[in-house]
Structure formats: C-alpha cells, structure tokens
Chains A and B, each alone.
Chain A
Amino acid sequence: MAQLSPLERWVLTLLGTIGFFAIWQGVAASGLVSHNALPTPAEVLATAWQLSFEPFAGHTLLQHLAASLGRFAMGFGLAALVGVPLGLAMGRWRLLDDIVSPIFEMLRFVAPLAWVPFAALWFGTGIGGPVMVIFAGALPPCLINAYRGAKLVEPRIVEAAQVLGASGPRIMAEVLLPGSLPSIVAGLRVSAGLAWQSLIGAELIVASAGIGYVMVQAQSNLAPSIVMAGMLAVGVIGLALDVALRRTETLVKARWGQA
C-alpha cells in the first residue's frame, strides 16, 4: 500500500471526476438507454436553471426549496428542543432513564417513514404532517448524544454544584449542557442529515409543495430531467447543511471540548 505522490493523486482524482461525467454522457448519448430515461448532465443543469425561474407544480424551484427548508427547520428545531433536554435529564436522573428507555427503544425500530400515515391523519398534509415525520427521523440522535454527553460529565462537578446549592434546572443548564455540548453538536449533525432525508420521504408521499413534491410530480409526468434536477437540488442543499454543521462542530469542539 504505497503512498501516492500528490501529483499522482491529483491526476487520478481529476480522471475520476471526468470519468464519472464521461460515462454518464456516453451512456445517455449512445442511445443504449432511451433518451427519455436518462438525460445528459448538461440537460439536467439546464433544467435546474430553467426551473429556477419557470414554475413547475405550482411554484418555481426556489419557492419549493424555501417551503422544504421551512418544514426542515421546524421539524429539526422541534427534535432538538425535545431531544436534547430529555436526553440530558435521562443522563442525570436514573429513574427517568429507566422509564423512558424501553419506550424509546421500542419506537426506534419503527422506520420514521412508517409514521407518514399517522402524521397525515393527525396533522394534515400541509406543514404539520411532514414536520412530524421529520421529528420522528431527527429525534433519536439528538436524544442519544445528549444522554451520552451527560453521562460523560464528571460526577464530581455535578456534586460540587449540588453542594453549592444549585437547583436541578440550573445544574442542567449550567453544568450538564456546557459539559456535553461537543457530543450534542455531533448528534445534531447526524440528526440534520436524517431530518433532510425524512423530509424528502414525507414530501414524496404526502405534500402539495416542496422539493420532494416536485420530484414525484415529475415522476408522474415521466420527466427524468426534472427528477434529476430535483435530486441535484436536494444534494446541494444537503451538502450545504452538512458543511455548515461540520464547521459549527469544529468551533464548538475548540471552545468547549474536553480532552
């Protein structure tokens, strides 16, 4: 397993990138598969550009993305607001841990997308339903990482705070939360990825706007270039979210991280 020289690595990476698009272009242009099934990379880009200004399925691509991001923010925010305090409290109080854990473990085996029918029945197909599905997908990493973080906080520090007369909520906010922040932020990053994925699933099944809805409408119109433009948009936003949270994680680790 000899190491590559930087030049060799750079050339191979470039070759790999070119190869990826060349194979795609080649297969699409060769007529091996019907042109209706696989558009060329340039066509997908052109479609994405065009959809940014011309409405499809009621809105332009940017408006659909805004609708999706709004739902994402609500579902993800709700999961963080519920999951992090609950996880910290479970790490602090054993009894709560013993009560909640079996229920949580049981529910976790149900795939988040299986909540879609109930989400739609309870909260409708507009905003509430998708938000609940996102919540179901995003909650576990928030809760688990907050729990682990709280368990890792030095018990002597908690005891010291208790001796000095800090109340339960103050211990959580001023001792456990800062102590477990690196773990929590790592959980939030995993959680955001799952939330984004659950959002797409929910919008494919029940929604009347959003990027998933665009893709499912394009699928019924047999328009693969629009489907692939949607995939491109989903990928770009997902990547941007991940990069933003990775940055935050590094910053938090540098500021609050323990050895």
Chain B
Amino acid sequence: MSAPDLSVQRRADAGAPAPPRAARRLPRFGIGRRTLVGALSLLGLLVLWWVLTTGTGLVAPYRFPSPAEFRGALDQFVTDGYAGGTLWVQAWHSTRLVLMGFAVAVVTGVPLGLLMGVSPRAEALLNPAFLLVRPIPPLAWIPLAIVWLGLGDAAKVLVIWFAAFVPSVINTWTGVRGVDRTLIAAARVHGAGSRRLLTEVIIPGALPMIFTGLRLSLQASWTTLVAAELVGAFFGLGRVLDAAYRDINPAMITVAMVAVGILGAATTRLLGEAERRLIPWRS
C-alpha cells in the first residue's frame, strides 16, 4: 500500500517511442494500444467470472458469487439495507470516520513534523518517543483502543489517528529537511523574519513531501478503519463485511469490498486534486 503507484511510471513510458517489435505486432488504433489491451483484459476478466460461476458452475456459489448474485446483493443493500443500514448509510458512516481520523492526524502531525524539521532541539527531544512507538503496526493499537473506548466511533478515530499520524509527521519532517539551505539563507539575507521564512520558503518547499505523507496517511486510514470495524463495530462497511462473512453471503462480501475500494480510490483522487491546486508547479 505504501509503495508508489505504477501510473507515474507508465506516463513516463508513454513519451518514449514504443519498441518497433511491439508496434509491428499490433496495428495502431485511434485510442492507445495500452488502453485497448487493458480494456480487453478487464472484459476478459468479466467473461471469465461469468463462465466460472454461471456458465460452467466450476466455482460454487458459497465460494464466490455469480454476476447475477452480485447484482441481487447490491440491490438488496441499496433498497433494504444490510447489517443495520443501507449502502449509503454504511458507506457514509465509514467515510466520516476516516475523514475525522485523517483530519485529526493531519492537524497534529504536520505541525509536529514542521517543528521537528525546523528545530534540531525539538527533533532530538521527540525522536526517541517516535523510535519507540513506530515499530508497532497501527493495527496492533486496535485492541487497546477497544479496551479504552469500547466498540463505538471514538475508538475508531483514535486508531486511525495513530495510523495516519506517523506518515504525516515523518514526511513533513523529511520535506522540511530537504528544503534547499541556500534558499533559506537567501531569504534571511533579504530580511525575512522567522514567520515569513516558514510560510513563504519552508512550507512551500516541503509541500510536495507533505502531500506524499498525506497520501500514505489516507491509505493507512482506510486499511485501519476496515480492520477496526472487522474486529468489532456497530455500523460501517467493515461491519457489513463481518456480518456477510458470518451469514456466508459471498455476494454481500463482494459488494462491501467493491464499496471500500471505490471509496478509497475516490478519496485518494480528491487528495490528488487538492495537491494539483495547491502546488501547480509540481507537475
């Protein structure tokens, strides 16, 4: 999850001329070759799904749902609801918790990272606590959060905060330390005070790394929320996954997984949009 995505790499490839061998093998179409093969691949996957579950029945319904069962479960979830709420209610419940935990982590993590980046004293003082807490994976905080706060929303926000806090701090801190020293010295020479130095040189300079941290934080938030809701919750998509597992309802499991995937992708996209607005010079 924390690994950077392939799409950047691919865009870089697109500029380079395709190897002649590949170009000869497939004729050129109006849309890119890559898009075409990709679409065919996904279409093939859909056909394979239908063939395995419906056409031949090689995969039993209690193992994986057929497309029709998936559709049925989706309809049931949207109209009647499942595990205590309709799709929109459960999805909003989960999204709200992710956004709350993520927001708390950003509001606390980014300033702390800035402080540790700017002041070597603060860094030396706070680093030990970090080194002690960091090896514990965020998911390992779930049982403690439940002991402290129960199965309600507060425990989820606490765990998401822990999970999303560390990448925010570390990347902000790295970003600040990576700001060109010459720029800082130049701003100083031209009479910039500490405050202007921070807002006009250090923060803009560190912004790309800060956003890298935020993206990792957001991914960690979703992973942690799903895990926390699976361990114990009253509402949310993780609760739906758990209920569907207990009812042996693979169609509903699939619907909930797709919902989690779409929400994760959508929030990541929103963050990317914010990044493009805030740092137009990066691209």
A127 to B132, CA, bound (A): 30
Within the complex, which residue of A111, A190, A196, A228 is in contact with B3, where a contact is CB–CB below 8 Å?
A190
A109-B261, A114-B257, A116-B230 are known contacts. Are A37 and B1 too (CB-CB below 8 A)?
no
Pair B6/A144 contact, Cβ less than 8 Å: yes
Q: What sequence of 0s and 1s flags, for each residue 24-44 of chain B, a beta carbon within 8 Å of any chain A beta carbon?
A: 010000000110011111100
B227 contacts chain A at the CB level, 8 A cutoff: yes
Task: Name the residue of chain A whose CB is nearest to the CB of B149.
Answer: A37
Pair A235/B135 contact, Cβ less than 8 Å: yes
A20-B129, A109-B264, A121-B63 are known contacts. Are A4 and B124 too (CB-CB below 8 A)?
yes
Give chain A residues whose Cβ lies under 8 Å from the Cβ of B136. 231, 234-235, 238
Task: Name the residue of chain B whose CB is nearest to the CB of A17.
Answer: B128
Pair A95/B37 contact, Cβ less than 8 Å: yes
Among the 9-residue stretches B82-90, B106-114, B138-146, B206-214, the one with 4 or more Cβ atoms under 8 Å from chain A is B138-146
A15-B125, A16-B126, A216-B231 are known contacts. Are A234 and B137 too (CB-CB below 8 A)?
yes
A224 to B146, CA, bound (A): 10
A201 to B1, CA, bound (A): 15
Main SS of chain A's interface residues? helix
Give chain A residues whose Cβ lies under 8 Å from the Cβ of B128. 13, 16-17, 20
Task: Name the residue of chain A whose CB is nearest to the CB of B118.
Answer: A1
Give chain B residues whose Cβ lies under 8 Å from the Cβ of A204. 139, 142-143, 227, 230-231
A228 to B126, CA, bound (A): 21
* Residues 205-257 (chain A) with a chain B CB within 8 angstroms: 205, 212, 215-216, 218-219, 222, 224, 227-228, 230-231, 234-236, 238-239, 242
A167 contacts chain B at the CB level, 8 A cutoff: no
B7 contacts chain A at the CB level, 8 A cutoff: yes
Give chain A residues whose Cβ lies under 8 Å from the Cβ of B63. 121-122
A12 contacts chain B at the CB level, 8 A cutoff: yes
A137 to B224, CA, bound (A): 13
* Residues 1-27 (chain B) with a chain A CB within 8 angstroms: 1-7, 9-10, 13, 18-19, 22, 25
A102 contacts chain B at the CB level, 8 A cutoff: yes
* Residues 123-151 (chain A) with a chain B CB within 8 angstroms: 137, 140-141, 144-145, 147-148, 151
B196 contacts chain A at the CB level, 8 A cutoff: no
CB distance from B96 to the nearest CB of A (A): 17
A147-B6, A222-B147 are known contacts. Are A238 and B135 too (CB-CB below 8 A)?
yes
A112-B223, A114-B260, A140-B3 are known contacts. Are A196 and B137 too (CB-CB below 8 A)?
yes
A24 to B73, CA, bound (A): 48
A3-B120, A238-B136, A239-B135 are known contacts. Are A205 and B230 too (CB-CB below 8 A)?
yes
Chain A CB within 10 Å, residue with most, of B7, B45, B126, B144 = B144
Pair B143/A101 contact, Cβ less than 8 Å: no
Give chain B residues whose Cβ lies under 8 Å from the Cβ of A98. 33-34, 37-38, 41
Within the complex, which residue of A13, A105, A234 is in contact with B127, where a contact is CB–CB below 8 Å?
A13
Chain A CB within 10 Å, residue with most, of B4, B118, B230, B250 = B230
Task: Name the residue of chain B whose CB is nearest to the CB of A232.
Answer: B136
A16-B129, A105-B5, A201-B227 are known contacts. Are A228 and B144 too (CB-CB below 8 A)?
yes
CB distance from A59 to the nearest CB of B (A): 18
CB distance from A9 to the nearest CB of B (A): 5
* Residues 83-117 (chain A) with a chain B CB within 8 angstroms: 94-95, 98-106, 108-117
Pair A190/B2 contact, Cβ less than 8 Å: yes
CB distance from B156 to the nearest CB of A (A): 14
A196 to B244, CA, bound (A): 26
A118 to B235, CA, bound (A): 20
Give chain A residues whose Cβ lies under 8 Å from the Cβ of B222. 111
Give chain A residues whose Cβ lies under 8 Å from the Cβ of B144. 219, 224, 227-228, 231
A236 to B262, CA, bound (A): 35
A215 to B231, CA, bound (A): 11
A205 to B245, CA, bound (A): 11
Pair A111/B226 contact, Cβ less than 8 Å: yes
Pair B241/A116 contact, Cβ less than 8 Å: yes
Given pairs A2-B120, A16-B126, A200-B139, 4 additional interface contacts (CB within 8 A): A103-B42, A114-B256, A117-B245, A231-B141
Give 21 CB contacts A-B under 8 Å.
A2-B120, A8-B121, A12-B124, A37-B147, A94-B22, A105-B5, A110-B258, A112-B1, A114-B260, A117-B241, A137-B1, A140-B3, A151-B9, A187-B3, A197-B137, A201-B223, A215-B143, A216-B231, A224-B144, A228-B144, A234-B136
Q: Which 8 A-B pairs have the closest CB atoms?
A: A117-B245, A12-B124, A219-B143, A98-B37, A197-B137, A16-B128, A239-B135, A102-B38
